[in-house]
Amino acid sequence: MNKQLENDLKQVDSLLEKVKWQGLDFLEKLSERPTSATPVSQTPETLNEDGLGGLNTLSLFNKRFEQLIVGSSGPRYLGFVTGGSTPAAIAGDWLATIFDQNTQTVKGQGDISAIIETGAIQLLLDLFGLPGGFLGGFVTGATMSNFTCLAVARQWVGRQSGKDFAREGVSGHIHILSAVPHSSVIKSLSMLGIGSNNFEKVKVEEGNRESIDPEDLESKIKALNGQPFILITSAGTVNTVDFDDFKAISKLKEKYNFWWHIDGAFGAFAACSPKYQHLVAGWENADSITVDCHKWLNVPYENAAFFVKEQHKILQTETFQNANAPYLGDPMENFSYLNFLPENSRRLRALPVWFTLKAYGKKGYRDIVENSVNMARLLGQFIEQSKAFDLLATVRLNNVCFTLSGEQNQDKVPVFLARLNETGKVFMTPTVYNGKKGIRASFVNWRTTEEDVQIVIDEMSKLTDNE
């Protein structure tokens, strides 16, 4: 054995102990950790011939890079719809790293960790109140979840006309309808060979909404004259968390032939609360659903789930099966995730999900969701009452979309946001809504309190008071 590896194995307890205490110190001081970092010049990396060993490498990392790590998992990091990590999720993720399973099958001798994955999927379906007729699995994020779902949808469209797109390649036009698709959906269309511009835009409802207008949708469906198509809908748009009318779409699905996909990256978690679960009423009739676990579920990156109706499992295996690997056997009799999603190699992403759901249960996630919404409304109330800011849309759930008051201040929005983020007390992201430059604050972190919102308000007020 290599001497450096042998030494590290002998003192692995010391190495992990140091990492443990450093991690605990980070978590304890997370609320005070800056939410932004100052860019630093990078020096070229060179590789030491013999290596430094684990402990010396940890010291080098702390000297060079530790100060660059921002508090993105903390309570005032409100950008990118970024969640934190619950204590139980951290425990599960650490164990997933230590166990280092390549999660694929529920029956194989070499690995049966997929039993944990199928169990975690059942827990998620239970959390969301979805029926057991969905086949689900874990991928890296919402982009890959949308990609997985839409890949099966693409195969469905082909089969409607007797074609096998997975084997033969895409031919002919694939009709897609959507109103406000997320950028990850657009990227998925590009990666799938469908084309990022290849969707017909459906009108949104009146009244400063981002939700599909059901009448315009049906009009566009009729214009297709019975041709199969993919409908991409939203369970929470990224700017204003608007939801499409799933009850109305369910009725349309009874009348017309289409694949219905729901992008519920973070909005799906409205189902956790009796106060907001009406927003997803009818979503159980969809063919596929995207959920991003490293957002409102508060597990570490990279973690998202896809749900595809089990009735489409043949289409799913046609899309993802490793057809040139004879040792796999019958993919339906010997279930392996290898044949149901894009990746051939995967870590045990289900473990932090299983840990956090078992640890905090339905009430824990109901509390997280309702607290996040309450915190968003607190910030929204401040903006409504302020002369310096305007809401760009009603605070519908957990996002606050706003701008500086006055058309003359539109060019100042990016400058204001940069200065706000430079305080290191809060981080928000820029957006454009209805042609206006805006700012978006997303509340999904389990740690966020009223005190945190007040700190954010104070920093915003300081900057506008000094104008």
Q: What is the pLDDT of residues 256-306, one digit of tens each?
A: 999 999 999 999 999 999 999 999 999 999 999 999 999 999 999 999 999
Confidence of residue 211 (pLDDT cuts 50, 70, 90): very high
Residue 328 has pLDDT above 70, yes or no: no
The model's pLDDT over 18-52, given as tens digits with 9 standing for 90+, comes to 999 999 999 999 999 999 988 778 888 999 999 99
pLDDT of 42 reads 81
pLDDT at 325 over 60: no
Tokens of 436: 């206006």
What pLDDT shows up at residue 327?
45
pLDDT digits (tens, 9 = 90+) for 333-376: 778 898 999 999 999 999 999 999 999 999 999 999 999 999 99
What are the residues whose beta carbons fall under 8 Å from the beta carbon of 62, sequence distance 6 or more?
22
Yes or no: say if 136 and 270 are a contact pair by the CB < 8 Å rule.
no
Q: Is the dihedral of CA 438, 443, 447, 448 positive or negative?
A: positive
**What SS3 state is found at 218?**
helix
Q: What pLDDT score does 105 carry?
A: 87
> For all residues of the chain together, what is the average pLDDT?
95
Interhelix angle 313-320/142-160, rounded to 10 degrees, is: 110
Q: What tokens appear for 439 in the block?
A: 């700012």
Q: Are 307 and 153 in contact (CB under 8 A)?
A: no
465 by Cβ neighbours in 10 Å (0-12 / 13-18 / 19+) ranks as exposed
- pLDDT grade, residue 330 (50/70/90)? low
The pLDDT tens digits of the residues spanning 365-391 come to: 999 999 999 999 999 999 999 999 999
Model confidence over 124-154: pLDDT tens digits?
Answer: 999 999 999 999 999 999 999 999 999 999 9
